[in-house]
Structure 1
Amino acid sequence: MAWEKKGAHSAKKPDLNGIVKDAVVCHLCGCSLHGSVYTNDGQAYCGENCYLKKMEFHLLESEIGAAYLAFAEALAKTLDMREHETGLHSKRVACHTMVLAKHFTDNRGILRQVYWGALLHDIGKIGISDAVLLKQGALTKNEWLEMRSHSQKGYSILSAIPSMRLAANIVLSHEERYDGTGYPHGLAGEDIPWGARIFAVIDTLDAMISDRPYRKGA
């Protein structure tokens, strides 16, 4: 995982009860920390949101980039809220996908595209009806056809932005599976775009601990 939750001893040595003797502050927002916090590389953070924000900063090269990121994250958060996702699903999988991608490349441009693609992977669900997206229980054949169209809808949205072509391909292929059983094109193995393969690993792990209505009863 990209982070670990434990006692704040990475920033200050805790006493035997696990409570920080001297107050420490979040490395990002500056709020006081006590007890259990998120830690990484010797720095302490008040929670997952601040830790994930810290990971994004290296992607930003200008105020325009920062505004672009803020808008994209607001859109992703809106999609999460519509699907009643708890926590920070889109941002979480985007940051963790980027962490995994960094084991294979240090190209900032590619990492930025991987982040965008992972963050906006479900943008096509804007075009999926609430009756299907929020249905409790198994979907009918026609409902599955509608649900499965979200990756192509998302590609249509992002591919219209010249600076997001690689990210758009990740969105298009994020539901493909290595054995060829995914959609929309049934790609297999290395025919699946590299970024989409990495994203699939992270999203699968995230799905195991998430409550996604349309999976119930499937």
Structure 2
Amino acid sequence: MARLGLNKLNRLAHLGLRVPRGASIRAFGLSRPNIGIKPTTATTIKPPSIVPTPRFVSTSSSHRKHITPDGETPEPQAAPEVVRTPAVITDAEYHAAADEYMDRLLTHLEELEEQNADMEVEYSAGVMKISFGPDSGTYVINKQPPNKQIWLSSPKSGPKRYDYVILGDGQHEKQDTACGEWLYLRDNTTMAELLREEIGIDLRMPVGDYGE
């Protein structure tokens, strides 16, 4: 096979083509091209385009942190309900508090009884009965030492059991130094409130004011 010229051999070597057998390239100081590599078409590789990351711009004000997603202002939360518990008192302290309350109540009832001819009050052995006529029913109020309670049965609102509870800032103080009250724990109402609403007895009033 005829030997190839120098220019042609250089061209073949540059393109990476197979040199025909018999062609001499060493004579011209050329390196043998890679064998088995097919020519490829030169392409221009473009650098990847840089897409800017979109930035989120908030239009909401920092003063709207408490606004719900639907645009409505949430309702204010109610204050947590205070859980009352009976005061830890001895039997002697219970009897002292219960007797003082019953005696004070009896004093108010007897004064109101003088103003109401249909009213009748009885108190014996720790049991108090209050009636306003034969058709009005009878209130029964009595001590319950085993439970350290005072029980009240009303013809209007039914039976209730009252515990001695320390109210106000002195909840952890003893009963003789803090504000104690007989409380119905199911609805946190006091016995004084029931007596004031159903009978008209206000234990906060001084004795002698019912006749005015």
The answer to whether the superposition gives a TM-score over 0.5 is: no
Greater share of strand: 2
Please indicate the TM-score interval, normalised by the length of the shorter structure. Answer: under 0.3
Greater share of helix: 1
Greater relative CO, 1 or 2 (CA 8 Å, sep 6+): 1
What is the TM-score with the length of structure 1 in the denominator?
0.23
Tell me which structure has the larger Cα radius of gyration: 2
What is the TM-score with the length of structure 2 in the denominator?
0.23
